[in-house]
A = this chain, B = another copy of it.
Amino acid sequence: MPATILNFPPKIVENAIEEISKLPGIGRKTALRLVLYLLKQEKESTENLTTALTQLREDIQYCGTCHIISDTTDCTCRTVTRDLTTICVVQDTPDVMAIENTHQYKGLYHVLGGVISPIEGIGPEDLHIDSLFSRIEKSDPKVEEVILALSPTMEGDTTAFYITKKLKALGIKVTTIARGIPIGGELEYADEVTLGRSILTRTIYD
C-alpha cells in the first residue's frame, strides 16, 4: 500500500501559523504554540485579541502636532499641566514611553519618525522636522528649550546636528541628553568613546 503524507496540519492552522510567524521574533514553533494555546482557550479570548488588533490598526491616530500615536489627532500634548516651553525630540514612539517611565520629564515631545540616513535614502523632508520648526515658531507660550534625545549613532548625530543648526538660528536653547557611563556600569568595561566623552562632559560633584 503506497503511503502518502497526511493532509496535516489543516489549512486553517497552517494559515494562522504563517500569519503569526510573520511577526518579528516569532518563529514557526512559537506560532504553533500560540495557535494551540488559542484553540484551548474560550473563543472569547481570540475575539478580544482580534478586536484589539483591528482597533489598533483602524482607529489609531497620530497627533498632528507632536506625531505621537494617539486615540485622536489632537493628543494630550497640548495639556496645560505639562511644561509647554520645553520640547523633547525623539526618534520614535517607544522612546517617548521610555522617557515617560523615568518620571523625570514633564515637558512636551516631538516624534521625528526616524533619523536622517543617507544610506537608507531618508532625508530631513521624510521626517517630522519641518513641523518641529513651525511648531516652535507658532508656540505660545514660546518654546525655550529643545532637548535632543536621539540615539548616539551616526544617523542620530547627523539628525541632531541638522536640527541644532536650524534651531540656533531661531535663538532656541538646544540641549542633548547626557552621554556617559550607565548607572551600575563598570569603568573597565566601558568603551573608549563613551568613557572619553564622559570625561570631557564631566559635571560638578555635589
Contact = CB atoms under 8 A, between A and B. Distances in A.
Tell which of A19, A35, A55 has the most Cβ of chain B within 10 Å. A19
B56 A35 contact: yes
A203 interface: no
Interface stretch (A94-102, A145-153, A184-192): A94-102
A179 interface: no
A82 interface: yes
A100 B56 CA distance: 38
Contacts of A3: 81-83, 106
Interface in A78-119: 79-83, 92-94, 96-97, 100, 103, 106, 109
A7 interface: yes
A201 interface: no
Interface in A28-64: 30, 32-39, 43, 45-50, 52-60
B12 A97 contact: no
A10 B55 contact: no
B54 A6 contact: no
Contact of A71 (B12, B18, B19, B80): B12
A69 B6 contact: no
A94 B52 contact: no
A24 interface: yes
A38 B57 contact: yes
A3 B70 CA distance: 20
A45 B18 CA distance: 12
A11 interface: yes
Nearest to A72: B10
A56 B8 contact: no
A13 interface: yes
A8 B82 contact: no
A25 interface: yes
A93 to B, nearest CB: 6
Contacts of A50: 50, 53-54
